[in-house]
């Protein structure tokens, strides 16, 4: 199974989602290929936002080595699931899809949440530590439910 997380800049939400899910599956000793990308090219080559790095460092997860990249057409073919953070991401990722039959791979990450009253992970970029902590919590919850939904078997 190969999963790609997608947000706008690939410096806040999708690197947090990538770090949280990689840590979760590593601890379960389940092999899962995970990457992240942005719909925009604003931050290509940059490290995650320092607030995202710090938020996860406090949880024992290191995402400081990640580098932002932009979503490519090959990603739609290579990855099994393209998980987006909000409805703008969803619109952009669906509109850029190179083949109609690949659109079904694109889903809101929070579709996997147990109580998705609001199905998006809000952009923390103009917020503070509280908003980043909220992204972290939503990613943990969605990751747990992603795991329960997929009935993974240990390697
Ligand atoms: P992300 O957050 O999509 O979660 O990485 C943002 C990062 C940068 C910008 C917006 C959102 N920006 O406008 O530069």
**How large a percentage of the chain has pLDDT more than 90?**
92
pLDDT digit string, tens, across residues 80-93: 999 999 999 999 99
Helix 50-57 vs helix 13-27: crossing angle, to nearest 10: 20
Tell me how many degrees the CA angle 66-72-77 measures, rounded to the nearest 5: 110
User: Superfamily assignment of 2-150 in CATH?
Assistant: Response regulator (3.40.50.2300)
Pocket test for ligand 1, best of 5, 11, 45 (most atoms within 8 A of CB): 11
Give the integer Cα–Cα distance in Å for 112 and 120.
11
Indicate the domain borders of the chain. Answer: 2-150
**CA nearest ligand 1 atom 12, residue:** 9
Ligand 1 close to Cβ of residue 135 (< 6 A): no
pLDDT digit string, tens, across residues 118-136: 899 999 999 999 999 999 9
Checking if the pLDDT of 154 tops 90, the result is: no
3-state SS, one letter per residue, for 7-36: ECCCCCHHHHHHHHHHHHHHHCCCCCEEEE
| Residue 57 designated active-site | no
Strand order in the sheet with 81-84: 33-38, 2-7, 81-84, 106-108
pLDDT digit string, tens, across residues 52-77: 999 999 999 999 999 999 999 999 99
DSSP E strand stretches across 33-80: 33-38
| Residue 13 designated active-site | yes
Candidates 55, 92, 123, 139; catalytic one: 123
Distance 153 CA to ligand 1 centre (A): 35
Q: In Å, what is the CA distance from 13 to each residue of 44, 86, 89, 93?
A: 15, 10, 11, 16
């Amino acid at each position: 199974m190969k999963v790609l997380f997608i947000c706008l800049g690939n410096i806040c939400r999708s690197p947090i989602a990538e770090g949280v899910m990689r840590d979760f599956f590593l601890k379960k000793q389940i092999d899962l290929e995970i990457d992240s990308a942005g719909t925009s090219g604003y931050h290509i080559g940059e490290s995650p936002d320092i607030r995202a790095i710090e938020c996860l460092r406090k949880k024992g997860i290191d995402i400081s080595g990640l580098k932002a990249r932009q979503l490519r057409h090959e990603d739609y073919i290579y990855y099994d699931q393209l998980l987006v953070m909000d409805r703008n991401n969803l619109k952009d990722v669906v509109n850029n899809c190179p083949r109609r039959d690949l659109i079904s791979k694109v889903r809101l990450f929070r579709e996997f949440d147990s109580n998705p009253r609001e199905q998006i992970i809000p952009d923390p970029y103009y917020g503070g530590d509280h908003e980043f902590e909220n992204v972290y919590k939503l990613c943990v919850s969605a990751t747990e439910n992603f795991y329960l939904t997929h009935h993974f078997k240990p390697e």
